[in-house]
Amino acid sequence: MGGQKAAILAAVALVIACAAPATADVNVTALCLLVSNGNYVASQSDCSTYYQCQGASFTALSCPQGYYFDKNAQQCTASVPSTCTSNADPCQGKAVGTFAASSSSCGGYYYCGASGAVAGSCPAGENFNPTTMACVYQNSYPCTESSGSDSGESFTLNLCNLVSNGVYFGSPSNCNGWNFCQDNVLHSGSCGAGLVFNVQASNCGYQMDSSCAQVTNDPSLTGVSAPTTCSSAGSIIAATACNQYYQCSAGNYQLMTCPSGYYYDTISMACVTRMQARNNCDRCVGTTATFVNAYSTTNCSDYLYCVNGVQKGVESCPINYYFNEISGSCVNGVEPTFHCCNPTESDGASSTATTTSSGSTSSGSTSSVTPSVTPSVTPSATPSVTPSVTTSTTTKK
Protein backbone atom coordinates (compact mmCIF):
# COMPACT_ATOMS: atom_id res chain seq x y z
CA MET A 1 0.00 0.00 0.00
CA GLY A 2 3.14 2.17 0.19
CA GLY A 3 2.25 5.82 0.75
CA GLN A 4 -1.49 5.29 0.93
CA LYS A 5 -3.61 5.50 4.07
CA ALA A 6 -4.63 2.08 5.32
CA ALA A 7 -7.93 1.98 7.15
CA ILE A 8 -8.43 -1.16 9.16
CA LEU A 9 -11.41 -2.56 7.28
CA ALA A 10 -13.78 -5.32 8.31
CA ALA A 11 -12.23 -5.64 11.76
CA VAL A 12 -9.04 -7.57 11.06
CA ALA A 13 -5.72 -7.58 12.85
CA LEU A 14 -2.54 -7.72 10.80
CA VAL A 15 -0.05 -10.21 12.21
CA ILE A 16 3.61 -10.39 11.34
CA ALA A 17 4.71 -13.42 13.32
CA CYS A 18 8.38 -13.09 12.40
CA ALA A 19 8.66 -9.43 13.38
CA ALA A 20 6.46 -8.67 16.36
CA PRO A 21 7.23 -5.43 18.20
CA ALA A 22 9.06 -5.81 21.49
CA THR A 23 7.31 -4.92 24.72
CA ALA A 24 8.71 -3.27 27.84
CA ASP A 25 7.03 -2.94 31.22
CA VAL A 26 6.78 0.69 32.25
CA ASN A 27 8.80 1.78 35.27
CA VAL A 28 6.01 3.42 37.29
CA THR A 29 8.45 5.23 39.58
CA ALA A 30 10.12 6.89 36.59
CA LEU A 31 6.71 7.67 35.06
CA CYS A 32 5.45 9.32 38.25
CA LEU A 33 8.51 11.58 38.35
CA LEU A 34 7.24 13.16 35.12
CA VAL A 35 3.89 14.38 36.55
CA SER A 36 2.95 16.65 39.45
CA ASN A 37 1.92 15.17 42.79
CA GLY A 38 -1.62 13.84 43.02
CA ASN A 39 -1.96 12.94 39.34
CA TYR A 40 -3.27 9.52 38.38
CA VAL A 41 -1.63 7.57 35.56
CA ALA A 42 -2.96 4.48 33.81
CA SER A 43 -1.46 1.02 34.04
CA GLN A 44 0.09 -0.52 30.96
CA SER A 45 -0.81 -4.02 32.08
CA ASP A 46 -4.44 -3.82 33.23
CA CYS A 47 -7.35 -1.57 32.25
CA SER A 48 -8.77 -1.51 35.79
CA THR A 49 -5.49 -0.64 37.54
CA TYR A 50 -4.04 2.86 37.95
CA TYR A 51 -1.49 4.69 40.06
CA GLN A 52 -1.57 7.82 42.21
CA CYS A 53 1.78 9.61 41.93
CA GLN A 54 3.60 11.40 44.73
CA GLY A 55 7.10 12.26 43.58
CA ALA A 56 9.15 9.07 43.26
CA SER A 57 6.47 7.15 45.16
CA PHE A 58 3.16 5.81 43.91
CA THR A 59 0.12 3.99 45.21
CA ALA A 60 -1.40 1.21 43.10
CA LEU A 61 -5.21 1.37 42.99
CA SER A 62 -7.94 -0.72 41.36
CA CYS A 63 -11.39 0.14 40.05
CA PRO A 64 -14.43 -1.83 41.28
CA GLN A 65 -15.28 -4.94 39.28
CA GLY A 66 -16.72 -4.02 35.88
CA TYR A 67 -15.17 -0.53 35.91
CA TYR A 68 -12.11 0.75 34.07
CA PHE A 69 -9.72 3.63 34.68
CA ASP A 70 -10.13 6.61 32.34
CA LYS A 71 -6.90 8.61 32.38
CA ASN A 72 -8.58 11.72 30.97
CA ALA A 73 -11.51 11.71 33.41
CA GLN A 74 -9.07 10.72 36.19
CA GLN A 75 -11.64 8.29 37.56
CA CYS A 76 -13.14 4.83 37.09
CA THR A 77 -15.89 4.53 34.47
CA ALA A 78 -18.20 1.77 33.24
CA SER A 79 -16.95 2.08 29.65
CA VAL A 80 -13.52 0.98 28.46
CA PRO A 81 -11.33 3.91 27.29
CA SER A 82 -9.98 3.49 23.76
CA THR A 83 -6.38 3.93 24.96
CA CYS A 84 -6.39 1.30 27.69
CA THR A 85 -4.51 -1.95 27.21
CA SER A 86 -4.03 -5.05 29.28
CA ASN A 87 -0.96 -7.24 28.88
CA ALA A 88 -2.92 -10.20 30.23
CA ASP A 89 -6.01 -9.47 28.11
CA PRO A 90 -5.68 -6.53 25.67
CA CYS A 91 -9.38 -6.86 24.80
CA GLN A 92 -10.54 -6.71 28.43
CA GLY A 93 -14.05 -5.23 28.45
CA LYS A 94 -14.11 -4.63 24.68
CA ALA A 95 -16.69 -5.98 22.23
CA VAL A 96 -15.86 -8.58 19.59
CA GLY A 97 -14.98 -6.87 16.32
CA THR A 98 -13.36 -3.82 17.93
CA PHE A 99 -9.72 -2.87 18.36
CA ALA A 100 -7.45 -2.09 21.32
CA ALA A 101 -4.34 0.06 21.20
CA SER A 102 -0.96 -1.34 22.13
CA SER A 103 0.77 0.70 24.80
CA SER A 104 4.15 -0.66 23.74
CA SER A 105 4.07 0.28 20.05
CA CYS A 106 2.86 3.37 18.18
CA GLY A 107 1.87 1.24 15.19
CA GLY A 108 0.70 -1.75 17.20
CA TYR A 109 -2.83 -2.76 18.12
CA TYR A 110 -5.00 -5.77 18.94
CA TYR A 111 -8.04 -7.06 17.05
CA CYS A 112 -10.63 -8.35 19.50
CA GLY A 113 -11.92 -11.43 17.71
CA ALA A 114 -14.37 -14.10 18.76
CA SER A 115 -11.48 -16.32 19.86
CA GLY A 116 -9.52 -13.61 21.69
CA ALA A 117 -7.00 -10.84 21.06
CA VAL A 118 -4.75 -10.93 18.00
CA ALA A 119 -1.71 -8.64 17.92
CA GLY A 120 -1.14 -6.61 14.78
CA SER A 121 0.97 -3.82 13.35
CA CYS A 122 0.22 -0.98 10.95
CA PRO A 123 2.16 -0.76 7.67
CA ALA A 124 5.55 0.99 7.73
CA GLY A 125 5.18 4.75 8.13
CA GLU A 126 1.79 4.59 9.86
CA ASN A 127 0.58 4.73 13.48
CA PHE A 128 -2.55 3.30 15.06
CA ASN A 129 -5.11 5.90 16.16
CA PRO A 130 -7.09 4.37 19.07
CA THR A 131 -9.89 6.93 18.84
CA THR A 132 -10.83 6.14 15.23
CA MET A 133 -9.41 2.59 15.36
CA ALA A 134 -7.48 2.98 12.11
CA CYS A 135 -3.92 3.09 10.81
CA VAL A 136 -3.01 6.60 9.64
CA TYR A 137 0.04 8.47 8.41
CA GLN A 138 2.45 9.21 11.25
CA ASN A 139 2.04 12.97 10.72
CA SER A 140 -1.72 12.58 11.24
CA TYR A 141 -1.22 10.82 14.56
CA PRO A 142 2.35 11.52 15.80
CA CYS A 143 3.97 9.30 18.36
CA THR A 144 7.26 10.73 19.59
CA GLU A 145 10.04 8.17 19.44
CA SER A 146 13.67 8.40 20.55
CA SER A 147 16.46 5.84 20.52
CA GLY A 148 16.76 3.74 23.64
CA SER A 149 19.01 0.91 24.81
CA ASP A 150 22.68 0.37 23.99
CA SER A 151 22.03 -3.24 23.00
CA GLY A 152 20.17 -2.21 19.88
CA GLU A 153 16.88 -3.71 21.14
CA SER A 154 14.45 -0.90 21.79
CA PHE A 155 10.80 -0.14 22.40
CA THR A 156 8.00 2.24 21.53
CA LEU A 157 5.72 3.85 24.09
CA ASN A 158 3.10 6.51 23.54
CA LEU A 159 3.03 8.23 26.93
CA CYS A 160 -0.38 9.65 26.04
CA ASN A 161 -1.84 6.17 26.56
CA LEU A 162 -0.95 6.57 30.24
CA VAL A 163 -0.99 10.32 31.05
CA SER A 164 -4.07 12.55 30.90
CA ASN A 165 -4.76 14.91 28.01
CA GLY A 166 -4.27 18.59 28.85
CA VAL A 167 -1.48 18.08 31.39
CA TYR A 168 2.06 19.37 30.90
CA PHE A 169 4.60 16.86 32.18
CA GLY A 170 8.36 16.41 32.14
CA SER A 171 10.80 14.70 29.83
CA PRO A 172 12.65 11.59 31.05
CA SER A 173 15.74 12.57 29.06
CA ASN A 174 16.41 16.30 29.61
CA CYS A 175 15.68 18.98 32.23
CA ASN A 176 14.27 21.66 29.95
CA GLY A 177 12.01 19.34 27.93
CA TRP A 178 8.26 19.08 28.41
CA ASN A 179 5.40 17.02 26.97
CA PHE A 180 1.71 17.66 26.45
CA CYS A 181 -1.08 15.32 25.28
CA GLN A 182 -3.87 16.58 23.05
CA ASP A 183 -6.41 14.07 21.73
CA ASN A 184 -3.97 11.37 22.83
CA VAL A 185 -1.28 12.80 20.55
CA LEU A 186 2.05 13.62 22.21
CA HIS A 187 3.45 17.13 21.67
CA SER A 188 6.95 17.89 22.94
CA GLY A 189 8.88 21.12 23.41
CA SER A 190 11.66 22.85 25.34
CA CYS A 191 11.83 25.73 27.78
CA GLY A 192 13.67 28.91 26.81
CA ALA A 193 17.40 29.50 27.34
CA GLY A 194 18.42 29.24 31.00
CA LEU A 195 15.09 27.70 32.04
CA VAL A 196 14.12 24.16 33.02
CA PHE A 197 10.75 22.46 33.29
CA ASN A 198 9.33 22.43 36.81
CA VAL A 199 7.25 19.26 37.12
CA GLN A 200 5.35 20.30 40.26
CA ALA A 201 4.43 23.74 38.90
CA SER A 202 3.90 22.37 35.36
CA ASN A 203 5.75 25.31 33.84
CA CYS A 204 9.21 26.56 32.92
CA GLY A 205 11.30 28.22 35.62
CA TYR A 206 14.81 28.80 36.88
CA GLN A 207 17.06 25.87 37.73
CA MET A 208 17.09 26.74 41.45
CA ASP A 209 13.33 26.15 41.65
CA SER A 210 13.45 22.67 40.12
CA SER A 211 15.24 19.49 41.21
CA CYS A 212 15.18 18.01 37.68
CA ALA A 213 14.49 14.62 39.29
CA GLN A 214 12.36 13.65 36.29
CA VAL A 215 15.45 12.92 34.17
CA THR A 216 15.96 9.17 34.67
CA ASN A 217 16.65 8.16 31.05
CA ASP A 218 14.61 5.09 31.87
CA PRO A 219 14.56 2.87 28.73
CA SER A 220 10.91 1.92 29.25
CA LEU A 221 10.01 5.60 28.70
CA THR A 222 12.54 6.60 26.05
CA GLY A 223 12.90 3.60 23.75
CA VAL A 224 11.32 2.74 20.39
CA SER A 225 10.47 -0.51 18.67
CA ALA A 226 12.53 -1.85 15.82
CA PRO A 227 10.93 -1.57 12.35
CA THR A 228 9.35 -4.64 10.79
CA THR A 229 12.22 -5.34 8.39
CA CYS A 230 12.82 -8.01 5.78
CA SER A 231 15.81 -8.90 3.61
CA SER A 232 14.43 -10.87 0.66
CA ALA A 233 12.77 -8.52 -1.83
CA GLY A 234 9.45 -9.85 -3.10
CA SER A 235 9.01 -12.39 -0.30
CA ILE A 236 5.43 -12.69 0.95
CA ILE A 237 3.85 -13.62 4.28
CA ALA A 238 0.17 -13.93 5.14
CA ALA A 239 -1.82 -11.45 7.21
CA THR A 240 -4.72 -12.40 9.47
CA ALA A 241 -7.04 -10.69 7.00
CA CYS A 242 -7.96 -13.22 4.32
CA ASN A 243 -7.83 -10.56 1.62
CA GLN A 244 -4.43 -9.17 2.63
CA TYR A 245 -0.77 -10.19 2.74
CA TYR A 246 2.64 -8.64 3.35
CA GLN A 247 5.22 -8.25 0.58
CA CYS A 248 8.87 -7.37 1.17
CA SER A 249 9.77 -4.07 -0.50
CA ALA A 250 12.77 -1.81 0.16
CA GLY A 251 13.64 -3.71 3.33
CA ASN A 252 10.18 -3.44 4.91
CA TYR A 253 7.05 -5.56 4.77
CA GLN A 254 4.33 -3.58 3.00
CA LEU A 255 0.66 -4.45 3.48
CA MET A 256 -1.01 -5.45 0.21
CA THR A 257 -4.71 -6.05 -0.46
CA CYS A 258 -6.17 -8.46 -3.00
CA PRO A 259 -8.71 -7.18 -5.57
CA SER A 260 -12.30 -7.02 -4.36
CA GLY A 261 -13.76 -10.49 -3.90
CA TYR A 262 -10.36 -12.23 -3.85
CA TYR A 263 -8.46 -13.77 -0.94
CA TYR A 264 -4.85 -14.73 -0.32
CA ASP A 265 -3.94 -18.41 -0.82
CA THR A 266 -0.93 -19.44 1.31
CA ILE A 267 -0.09 -22.39 -0.96
CA SER A 268 -0.02 -20.72 -4.37
CA MET A 269 0.87 -17.34 -2.77
CA ALA A 270 -1.67 -15.67 -5.02
CA CYS A 271 -5.04 -13.92 -4.73
CA VAL A 272 -7.83 -16.37 -5.57
CA THR A 273 -11.57 -16.73 -5.00
CA ARG A 274 -12.72 -17.17 -1.39
CA MET A 275 -13.45 -20.89 -1.69
CA GLN A 276 -10.07 -21.58 -3.30
CA ALA A 277 -8.10 -19.78 -0.57
CA ARG A 278 -6.22 -22.16 1.74
CA ASN A 279 -5.64 -19.75 4.57
CA ASN A 280 -6.41 -20.13 8.28
CA CYS A 281 -7.60 -16.55 8.63
CA ASP A 282 -10.69 -14.48 9.45
CA ARG A 283 -12.92 -15.59 6.55
CA CYS A 284 -15.76 -13.24 7.50
CA VAL A 285 -13.67 -10.30 6.29
CA GLY A 286 -15.05 -8.64 3.19
CA THR A 287 -18.26 -10.66 3.02
CA THR A 288 -21.88 -9.56 3.27
CA ALA A 289 -22.96 -13.18 3.80
CA THR A 290 -24.21 -14.35 7.18
CA PHE A 291 -22.56 -17.78 6.96
CA VAL A 292 -19.30 -18.88 5.30
CA ASN A 293 -17.27 -22.08 5.39
CA ALA A 294 -14.73 -22.32 8.19
CA TYR A 295 -11.13 -23.14 7.27
CA SER A 296 -10.27 -26.81 7.70
CA THR A 297 -7.74 -29.33 6.41
CA THR A 298 -10.11 -32.26 6.89
CA ASN A 299 -13.76 -31.54 6.07
CA CYS A 300 -16.37 -28.86 5.42
CA SER A 301 -18.76 -29.46 8.32
CA ASP A 302 -17.96 -26.24 10.22
CA TYR A 303 -19.05 -22.73 9.31
CA LEU A 304 -18.66 -19.19 10.62
CA TYR A 305 -21.41 -16.80 11.64
CA CYS A 306 -20.63 -13.30 10.34
CA VAL A 307 -22.15 -9.89 11.08
CA ASN A 308 -21.02 -6.89 9.01
CA GLY A 309 -17.92 -8.78 7.93
CA VAL A 310 -16.94 -9.64 11.53
CA GLN A 311 -16.75 -13.21 12.86
CA LYS A 312 -19.21 -13.69 15.72
CA GLY A 313 -19.13 -17.44 16.21
CA VAL A 314 -18.27 -20.91 14.89
CA GLU A 315 -20.97 -23.53 14.33
CA SER A 316 -21.13 -27.11 13.03
CA CYS A 317 -23.60 -28.86 10.75
CA PRO A 318 -25.42 -31.98 12.01
CA ILE A 319 -23.66 -35.34 11.61
CA ASN A 320 -23.29 -36.35 7.93
CA TYR A 321 -24.11 -32.80 6.80
CA TYR A 322 -21.60 -30.43 5.22
CA PHE A 323 -21.75 -26.67 4.88
CA ASN A 324 -21.87 -25.14 1.41
CA GLU A 325 -21.46 -21.35 1.44
CA ILE A 326 -22.79 -21.07 -2.13
CA SER A 327 -26.22 -22.18 -0.93
CA GLY A 328 -25.67 -20.94 2.62
CA SER A 329 -26.89 -24.22 4.06
CA CYS A 330 -25.84 -27.56 5.53
CA VAL A 331 -26.22 -30.24 2.86
CA ASN A 332 -26.75 -33.95 3.58
CA GLY A 333 -24.18 -36.35 2.11
CA VAL A 334 -22.53 -33.92 -0.30
CA GLU A 335 -19.21 -32.46 0.80
CA PRO A 336 -18.18 -29.39 -1.23
CA THR A 337 -14.79 -29.64 -2.90
CA PHE A 338 -13.68 -26.19 -1.79
CA HIS A 339 -9.95 -25.76 -1.20
CA CYS A 340 -10.66 -23.74 1.96
CA CYS A 341 -12.07 -26.76 3.81
CA ASN A 342 -11.25 -29.75 1.59
CA PRO A 343 -7.77 -28.92 0.23
CA THR A 344 -7.15 -32.33 -1.35
CA GLU A 345 -9.92 -31.75 -3.88
CA SER A 346 -10.13 -29.31 -6.77
CA ASP A 347 -12.27 -26.23 -6.36
CA GLY A 348 -15.85 -26.35 -7.53
CA ALA A 349 -19.12 -28.15 -6.95
CA SER A 350 -19.38 -31.80 -6.01
CA SER A 351 -19.33 -34.31 -8.85
CA THR A 352 -22.34 -36.11 -7.39
CA ALA A 353 -24.71 -33.21 -6.90
CA THR A 354 -24.92 -29.44 -7.20
CA THR A 355 -26.99 -27.64 -4.60
CA THR A 356 -29.06 -24.56 -5.23
CA SER A 357 -30.01 -21.79 -2.83
CA SER A 358 -33.24 -23.60 -2.09
CA GLY A 359 -31.47 -26.84 -1.25
CA SER A 360 -32.58 -28.70 -4.43
CA THR A 361 -30.11 -30.79 -6.42
CA SER A 362 -29.54 -31.50 -10.08
CA SER A 363 -28.65 -35.15 -9.42
CA GLY A 364 -28.54 -37.57 -6.50
CA SER A 365 -30.65 -37.38 -3.38
CA THR A 366 -29.80 -34.71 -0.84
CA SER A 367 -31.46 -32.41 1.64
CA SER A 368 -30.36 -29.14 3.19
CA VAL A 369 -30.56 -27.59 6.63
CA THR A 370 -30.56 -23.85 7.24
CA PRO A 371 -27.82 -22.96 9.76
CA SER A 372 -29.02 -21.82 13.15
CA VAL A 373 -27.30 -19.22 15.28
CA THR A 374 -26.90 -20.00 18.96
CA PRO A 375 -24.74 -17.14 20.33
CA SER A 376 -26.25 -13.80 21.26
CA VAL A 377 -24.87 -11.29 18.80
CA THR A 378 -24.66 -7.51 18.83
CA PRO A 379 -23.64 -6.13 15.41
CA SER A 380 -20.69 -3.73 15.50
CA ALA A 381 -19.81 -1.01 13.04
CA THR A 382 -16.90 -1.51 10.67
CA PRO A 383 -14.06 0.95 11.36
CA SER A 384 -13.92 3.74 8.79
CA VAL A 385 -11.10 5.65 7.15
CA THR A 386 -9.52 8.11 9.55
CA PRO A 387 -9.74 11.81 8.59
CA SER A 388 -6.59 13.90 8.61
CA VAL A 389 -5.63 15.44 11.94
CA THR A 390 -4.05 18.86 11.89
CA THR A 391 -1.53 19.45 14.63
CA SER A 392 0.36 22.57 15.55
CA THR A 393 3.72 23.11 17.23
CA THR A 394 3.45 24.75 20.63
CA THR A 395 6.18 26.66 22.44
CA LYS A 396 5.76 26.82 26.19
CA LYS A 397 7.20 29.89 27.83
pLDDT tens for 220-232 read 776 533 335 566 6
Domain-embedded: residue 55:
no
Domain-embedded: residue 223:
no
On whether both 89 and 201 belong to a single domain, the answer is yes
Comparing 181-190, 206-215, 263-272, 363-372, the range with the smallest average pLDDT is 363-372
Confidence of residue 312 (pLDDT cuts 50, 70, 90): confident
The three-state (H, E, C) secondary structure of 8-63, written as one string: CCCCCCCCCHHHCCCCCCCCHHHHHCCCCCCCEEECCCCCCEEEEEECCEEEEEEC
Q: Is the pLDDT of residue 88 over 80?
A: no
pLDDT recorded at residue 323? 92
Comparing 29-43, 137-151, 191-205, 234-248, the range with the smallest average pLDDT is 137-151
Closest CA relative to residue 143, chosen from 121, 167, 164, 159? 159
On whether both 90 and 199 belong to a single domain, the answer is yes
Domain-embedded: residue 178:
yes
Domain-embedded: residue 148:
yes
The side-by-side arrangement of strands in the sheet containing 321-324 is 321-324, 329-332, 368-369
pLDDT in tens, 111-158: 887 777 888 888 888 888 877 888 888 877 776 543 333 333 334 567
On whether both 88 and 179 belong to a single domain, the answer is yes
pLDDT in tens, 323-342: 998 888 999 877 888 888 87
Q: Please count the other Cβ atoms lying within 10 Å of the Cβ belonging to residue 393.
A: 7
On whether both 192 and 265 belong to a single domain, the answer is no
**Where is pLDDT greater, at 14 or 306?**
306
Domain range holding 299? 235-332
pLDDT recorded at residue 1? 37
Domain-embedded: residue 290:
yes
On whether both 187 and 96 belong to a single domain, the answer is yes
Domain-embedded: residue 51:
no
- Structurally, the chain folds into a number of domains equal to 2
pLDDT recorded at residue 15? 32
Give the pTM: 0.45
Q: Decide which of 292, 313, 332 is a domain's last residue.
A: 332
Contacts of 297 (CB under 8 A, 6+ apart): 343
Q: Decide which of 311, 332, 353 is a domain's last residue.
A: 332
Confidence of residue 397 (pLDDT cuts 50, 70, 90): very low
pLDDT recorded at residue 205? 87
Domain-embedded: residue 89:
yes
Q: Decide which of 286, 310, 332 is a domain's last residue.
A: 332
Confidence of residue 52 (pLDDT cuts 50, 70, 90): very high
On whether both 201 and 239 belong to a single domain, the answer is no
Comparing 77-91, 278-292, 306-320, 347-361, the range with the smallest average pLDDT is 347-361
On whether both 242 and 190 belong to a single domain, the answer is no
On whether both 177 and 242 belong to a single domain, the answer is no
On whether both 183 and 239 belong to a single domain, the answer is no
On whether both 290 and 190 belong to a single domain, the answer is no
Q: Is the pLDDT of residue 318 over 50?
A: yes
Q: Strands (DSSP E) along 63-113, which ranges?
A: 68-70, 75-77, 99-101, 108-113
On whether both 142 and 90 belong to a single domain, the answer is yes
On whether both 266 and 319 belong to a single domain, the answer is yes
Domain-embedded: residue 4:
no
